[in-house]
Amino acid sequence: MSPLTAFCFLLAGLSLIALLSSSSPFRLWRTNAAFGLSFLIVLISFVLLMAYFLGLPLFYGTGIIPPALSTSLAFMILGFALLTSAVQMARQYNKPYDIPISRAPYVFVMIFVLMATGIITTGYVYYRNYEKNHRAEVERQLSTVADLKVDELKQWRKERMSDAALFYKNFNFSGLVLRYFEAPGDLDAKRRLHIWLIKIKEAFQYDRVCLHDSAGKVWMSVPGQHEPMAGIFSQSSLEAIKTGQIVFEDFYRNEHNQRIYLTILVPVITDGEKNGRTIAVLALRIDPEQYLYPLINNWPTPSRTAETLIVRKDGNEVLFLNELRFQKATALNLRVSLDNKDTAAVLAVLGQQGIVDCKDYRGVPVIAALRTVPDSPWFLVARMDISEVYAPVRERRWLVFVLVGALLIGAAGGIGLVWRQQSIAFYREKSEVSESLRESEEKYRMLVENIPQKIFTKDRNSVYLSCNENLARDLGITPEEFVGKTDYDFFPKELAEKYRSDDLRIMESGVTEGIEEQYIQGGEKVWIYTVKTPIRDKEGNTVGILGVFSDITERKQAENELRESERRLREVQEMAHLGHWQWDVKTGAVEWSEEVYKIFRLDPNEFTPRIDSILALSPWPEDHERDKELIRRATESHEKGEYEQRFLRPDKSVGYYYSTFQGHYNEGGNLVSIVGTVMDITERKKLEEQLRQSQKMEAIGTLAGGVAHDFNNILSTIIGYGH
């Protein structure tokens, strides 16, 4: 057991003994001792928990073993329980004539311990959640970058192999090569072949494209200057000639210029009846500095230590294929033994994938995402230093520590201030409440007297108790004269009885109601909207009613005018066979007027207008594309548009309509909705079709008459010659 754990148990035991002792003469001493010992346990637990919270447990590296986190938390709870018992004992024996001790300090200390425990626990949980979420976000970022790089490398290799496949067993190209080899003086073949190589280099951005025969002689290259071939290049050429297959020569260093290249060797095979023969090799050389290395080295987000690298297995070692961020001249130079199984590159080559905590080529701890590049000998590592990963976590830890400390200091200061001010708090609060009540009553009185609504109160017998100036002014009396009167003193008997019936119903149900009714003002009837609510006493019994009403005569007139306007609009649309529609672009909702349903001969209860259902009414795709293009042009230019459309009625007959439309846009110029009209032009279309048929028949008649006339002339001439 840890010595510190044993010490805390000792303190807890002594505190418990002090609490359980029944010695009356030493009650004060026992209470203070129990309180002090339990408070010391809480303090020690607090220090240990804060050390764990900061990630720096105490006494590590010494002979003292600190308690575990769970043990420290248990001691905190035990100390709080003992502290509560000590406070209860102090309250039990706190008598002025016996022990001059106040219970307030114990209560406030207990409150502080409770607040401190809550603050520390909340801070710790927040910090751990932040650390966990931040780590998960970093892992997600590394995995995303690794997957993105692998997909890009896979796609790049696929594109290069597709380039090679374009010339592999391309007998038009091989025939041109054979023609050039057999007749080097054939300038046309040489020119055409040279154009091929130039196009290859420019189109696919290769560093060098050359053509050499099976003996290794270079017949043509782009660019044209002579350049010695690398030794590994000659070996790969022989392999391509021997196997008759495309060879992808991986990263290699040219011993002549010390540059790194990749080369795709495509055998040029003649067109034989059964098996052609390889007469040459087309070499497509790639400079990784142009595209591949920037693709690998680029990191999509700002980072101080993140980088991506590719490696391959070379014997019993891992060979690094690209330049690294923190070490120069590493491509095809830096090697790591497979025995270093704590290195990210080695783990990748050994087949491990996913997120790992390991070391990089510098021996620095990192978090790495390991991937295998499909269809290649490459392995990809996306890594970031642990120090960078946890830098925000360390900053957040100190921020939370400062915040927790500030909250603890604030809690202690607040409790001390409350303790100091408790003797005068009651009187101050009473004074403030009285002043607030007076101000509230004054504000309420000013509000009631100045708002445009009429306000009144009644008792259970519907006798008026009060009203505001606005209501009294309309009735031509003062608020004092209003008190004690009833509705029968101001309104006709029928109306007064209705008001009284409404009051009784609301007071019995206890439910607030809103009522539209007529009200006599200046001898004229006006429409008013009244809200009546029951008034209750402290016991919840209904003792009266409160009413607030407003003049809504103008609103009623506006509603009537609106209904009349809508009626006239419907009549006009029905006479003109003209309907209107609206399309909400954001929600996709479409609204039709009643006349639109009539034009399409559809039942509004059975058909719901939507974009797909409306398009289904016109089963001609070519019309849809034309209409969409017209709408697109109109909405982009913010101008009105129009189009004609044919449609199928429920009885399968074809109808036609003409539509005009206009887009509505928000302040940012974005399309919000489109409104338009629909006119039935079916009859017009039928008349147009009849007119076209009539014109056709007239033209046919005219043509027939002319032919008959010409034929008659020819026949007369023939008859004349006969005579």
- Give how far Cα 177 sits from Cα of 184, 210, 233, 468, Å: 10, 12, 21, 108
Q: Is the dihedral of CA 393, 399, 402, 404 positive or negative?
A: negative
445 found inside a domain: no
**What is the model's pLDDT at position 376?**
92
Question: Rounded CA gap, 483 and 176, in Å?
Answer: 117
Residues 581, 676, single domain; the answer is yes
Residue 109 confidence (pLDDT) above 80: no
23 found inside a domain: yes
> What residue type is assigned to position 162 of the chain?
S
Residues 540, 475, single domain; the answer is yes
Residue 366 confidence (pLDDT) above 90: yes
Q: What count of Cα atoms within 13 Å lies in the side-chain half-sphere of residue 311?
A: 32
Residues 496, 580, single domain; the answer is no
Residue 712 confidence (pLDDT) above 60: no
Nearest to 278 by CA among 314, 232, 243, 315: 243
**What is the model's pLDDT at position 101?**
41
Residues 461, 489, single domain; the answer is yes
Residue 99 confidence (pLDDT) above 50: no
Tens of pLDDT, residue by residue over 38-77, are 888 887 887 777 777 666 556 665 667 777 778 878 888 8
User: What are residue 210's DSSP bridge partners?
Assistant: 221, 283
Mean pLDDT calculated for residue range 10-20: 81
Residue 153 confidence (pLDDT) above 90: yes
∠ CA 211-215-220 to the nearest 5 degrees? 20
Q: In what order do the strands lie in the sheet with 317-320?
A: 335-337, 317-320, 307-314, 379-385, 365-372, 354-359
Residue 377 confidence (pLDDT) above 50: yes
pLDDT mean across residues, the chain: 81
∠ CA 288-345-343 to the nearest 5 degrees? 145
Among 321-335, 504-518, 692-706, which stretch is predicted with the lowest mean pLDDT?
Answer: 692-706
Read off the pLDDT band of 451 (50, 70, 90).
confident
- Tell me which of 101, 120, 150 is where a domain ends: 101
Question: Rounded CA gap, 369 and 360, in Å?
Answer: 12
663 found inside a domain: yes
Residues 69, 26, single domain; the answer is yes
Tens of pLDDT, residue by residue over 547-598, are 887 777 777 777 777 677 666 656 665 665 678 888 888 787 888 888 888 8
Read off the pLDDT band of 342 (50, 70, 90).
very high
Residues 536, 583, single domain; the answer is no
End-to-end CA distance of the chain: 149
Range of the domain at 651: 569-680
Question: Rounded CA gap, 242 and 100, in Å?
Answer: 109
The helix (H) or strand (E) run that includes residue 303 is none
Q: Parallel, antiparallel, or unpaired for β 317-320 and 524-536?
A: unpaired
Is residue 5 within 8 A of residue 71, CB to CB? The reply is yes
CA 584 to chain centre: 23
φ/ψ (deg, to 5) at 376: -155, 165
Residues 282, 178, single domain; the answer is yes
Residues 257, 187, single domain; the answer is yes
Residue 100 confidence (pLDDT) above 50: no
The helix (H) or strand (E) run that includes residue 433 is helix 391-450
Instruction: Count how many domains the chain has.
Output: 4
Indicate the length of the chain as a whole number: 723
Residues 535, 607, single domain; the answer is no
Tens of pLDDT, residue by residue over 283-296, are 899 999 989 999 99
Residues 580, 511, single domain; the answer is no
Highest mean pLDDT among 31-40, 51-60, 359-368: 359-368
Question: Rounded CA gap, 22 and 450, in Å?
Answer: 71
Residues 514, 483, single domain; the answer is yes
Is residue 338 within 8 A of residue 354, CB to CB? The reply is no
User: What are residue 379's DSSP bridge partners?
Assistant: 311, 372
- The token pair that represents 45 in the structure block: 């637990």
Is residue 413 within 8 A of residue 116, CB to CB? The reply is no
Question: Rounded CA gap, 287 and 582, in Å?
Answer: 59
Mean pLDDT calculated for residue range 622-647: 78
Question: Rounded CA gap, 101 and 104, in Å?
Answer: 9
Nearest to 319 by CA among 308, 307, 330: 330
**What is the model's pLDDT at position 31?**
75
Read off the pLDDT band of 723 (50, 70, 90).
very low
Residue 358 confidence (pLDDT) above 90: yes
Highest mean pLDDT among 360-369, 434-443, 547-556: 360-369
Residue 426 confidence (pLDDT) above 60: no
Question: Rounded CA gap, 665 and 429, in Å?
Answer: 56
Residues 587, 519, single domain; the answer is no
Nearest to 36 by CA among 11, 13, 17, 73: 11
Tens of pLDDT, residue by residue over 490-546, are 888 888 888 888 889 988 888 888 888 776 666 677 787 888 899 988 788 888 988
**What is the model's pLDDT at position 374?**
93
- Tell me which of 286, 318, 352 is where a domain ends: 286
Highest mean pLDDT among 24-33, 380-389, 474-483, 682-691: 380-389
Q: What's the CATH code of the domain at 537?
A: 3.30.450.20
- Tell me which of 508, 523, 551 is where a domain ends: 551
Among 102-116, 263-277, 641-655, 686-700, which stretch is predicted with the lowest mean pLDDT?
Answer: 102-116
- The token pair that represents 640 in the structure block: 């009105």
Nearest to 241 by CA among 210, 262, 216, 261: 216
Tens of pLDDT, residue by residue over 457-482, are 999 888 998 888 878 887 788 888 88
227 found inside a domain: yes
483 found inside a domain: yes
The pTM is what? 0.49
Mean pLDDT calculated for residue range 420-429: 66
